[in-house]
């Protein structure tokens, strides 16, 4: 099923110069970027984005971290995009993520795990996309290799 997912290179990933590497991996896989912007998240947006975690002990640190510097917010589209990006990201904790995954290749610490991707809970992807992007910011186009990516 063709679907969209929200992906964000977190402040650690931006500061470490990993935006290009991460975009490249998603592009190489065949996923299509349909929206993207470098942005500084404010506290309100951070708290809403991570609302499911508001009662967790790490919530304040998480909000502090995600607002600590620019992030690269993106929307990616493709077949089973939500699950495929989650698989490419690895586990939440980089220490438990396999080599070859983004978190397994570029992180060591749970609180500095480089990338966010929507989870597979139905509706999570669209909720996050709506939170960060206006519909007009999402571009509809075909990539020239799509006929070779999909049967």
**Residues carrying an active site annotation:** 116
Is 58 flagged in the annotation as binding? yes
CB–CB of 33/75 below 8 Å?
Answer: yes
Is 113 flagged in the annotation as binding? yes
Stated as kind and residue range, the H or E segment containing 81 is: helix 81-89
Pick 33 or 110: Cβ nearer ligand DAT: 110
Question: Which residues here bind ligand DAT, judged by CB under 6 A?
Answer: 53, 58, 62, 92, 110-111, 113, 116, 119
Sheet holding 115-117, edge to edge: 32-39, 71-79, 2-9, 115-117
- Stretch of residues binding Mg ion (CB under 5 A), selected from 7-15, 69-77, 104-112, 113-121: 113-121
Is 92 flagged in the annotation as binding? yes
Question: Helix, strand, coil: what percent of the chain each, to 5?
Answer: 45, 20, 35
CB–CB of 52/43 below 8 Å?
Answer: no
119 counts as binding Mg ion under rule CB under 5 A: yes
Is 103 flagged in the annotation as binding? yes
- Stretch of residues binding Mg ion (CB under 5 A), selected from 65-73, 76-84, 114-122, 143-151: 114-122
Q: How far is the CB of 62 from ligand DAT (least distance, A)?
A: 5
CB–CB of 62/53 below 8 Å?
Answer: yes
Question: Where does this chain bind Mg ion (CB under 5 A)?
Answer: 119
């Amino acid at each position: 099923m063709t679907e969209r997912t929200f992906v964000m290179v977190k402040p650690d990933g931006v500061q470490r110069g990993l935006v290009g590497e991460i975009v490249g991996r998603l592009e190489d896989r065949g996923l299509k970027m349909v929206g993207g912007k470098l942005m500084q998240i404010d506290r309100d947006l951070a708290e809403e984005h991570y609302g499911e975690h508001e009662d967790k002990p790490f919530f304040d640190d998480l909000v502090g971290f995600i607002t600590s510097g620019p992030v690269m917010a993106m929307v990616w589209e493709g077949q089973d995009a939500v699950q495929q990006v989650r698989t490419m990201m690895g586990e939440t904790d980089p220490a438990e993520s396999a080599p070859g995954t983004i978190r397994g290749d570029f992180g060591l610490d749970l609180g500095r795990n480089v990338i966010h991707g929507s989870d597979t809970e139905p509706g999570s992807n669209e909720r996050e996309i709506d939170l960060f992007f206006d519909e007009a910011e999402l571009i509809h186009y075909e990539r020239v290799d799509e006929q070779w990516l999909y049967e």
